Structure 1
Amino acid sequence: MSYTNILSEIEDGICTITINRPSKLNALNTETIAELHEAFKEADHDTEVKVIIITGSGEKAFVAGADISEFADFSVRQGEKLAAKGQAQLFDFVAHLATPVIAAVNGFALGGGLELAMAAHFRIASDNAKMGLPEVSLGVIPGYGGTQRLPQLVGKGRAMELIMTAGMVDANQALTYGLINHVTSQEELLPLAEKIAGKIMRNSSVAIASAIAAINAGYEDGENGFETEITEFGKCFGTADFKEGTQAFLEKRKPEFPGQ
């Protein structure tokens, strides 16, 4: 499928999705959000894809925020619809994908950009990256899950301060906060993401999907993460991957998971 605002490439089991609006610092508009949804959905349904990497084009920005010109004159109802649709179409959608998603933050990740990175299953960043949720400086709040995911990742107090001050943190501070997992150079960012993806791909994709579901359940209202873990654990016993993994262990060989 061809896209206007993004690039999607598959190689060696890794789908790399690149937001490609460099003249707008890769800002998210409604068209880009829709294209990202389709690209993520397509990658998740592709049995050859084991890991998805999301990044931005160029060296300045992952995503510098939302395209403010699209909603500057919205009403209350339109604002609610914008947040609800965006969360369902992209941010919650990414968070609940069965395929692991790594955000490779290659510069500014502000507003919706940081919210997209936080929706990924984990994040790495280049040493020039800067992250923040500056929405209150525009008279609005984060609307794509930022008020929920940031405190889950860095704690309530730090999230309150970052959101209230509309401040930014650099990559090293983000690492200290637990917002990202690794910091590296701009040149080594995608190679590091691919290296981590390679480690993930050695394991059972079926078990990884179950682990994602169980971990997510612990952060959702009305869900009991422990119960979900028990259910997902049991389901694993009925998979071909479990049979292969345990047999390979007993035979002292590397498993060749069928992904079933």
Structure 2
Amino acid sequence: MNELRLFPIKRTIHMTITNNQLNQFQNEGYVICEKFFNEDLMISLKKELDRMLDNGHARNVSTDGDGKTSSNKKVNIQICPLSPISKIFADVSKRKDVLNAVHTLLGENTELHLDQVFLKPANHGTGTNWHQDNAYFKIKDVSKGTGMWIALDDANKENGTMEIVPSSHLQSHEHIRDMHSDHHITCEGDDSKSIAMEVKRGGCVFFNYGIIHCTKENKTNAARAGLALHFVDKNYRVKDDGFL
């Protein structure tokens, strides 16, 4: 991958969003927050994830290219939505620190739009191709929605962490059906302009609904999981959109 970075990576280790970070979120469409959650919560969430995997709540959404047949070679595990089946995960979106950050970014008239987990198994975990979340949510103003991607394991380029194209939320992009997934859609992304969101376990990334992002393959000997919460301004949500 081309290592050219057109934008500096900006981070905070605080659990509140500063004015500078708010400006970055509005202009570049994302902000990284290190050490947002403590290790005790991460241990609890990983145990709960293991329970859900053991109970058959997850499925492999990767296909070998026909858009419908589950692949035996490529694995991209998804559990979606989480709230109806796990109080432990449901409670994350209700935490004061989470809501304070979301309210700073979007205003206080917000609600949880969707929550989900993706798990990339060791060595053969596949990613989710380039897309904008608003291609699914379809709100009129992308600045009224944010994803919150939480690293349940250390996330880096080697294990396929999320990558984003800064400021790509400033325009919409055409999406087509992703035939390497059983339900996803995808758009064109530019690897030469992307930034890998390398975040330690317990850190997170907030990103505008319009940001082009993806995840890559996990080529390491350890699985990697990420929790994604999506929040929206209630006044901009599409009525009866079928999400939470």
TM-score normalised to structure 2 length: 0.27
Larger relative strand fraction = 2
Q: Which has the higher helix share?
A: 1
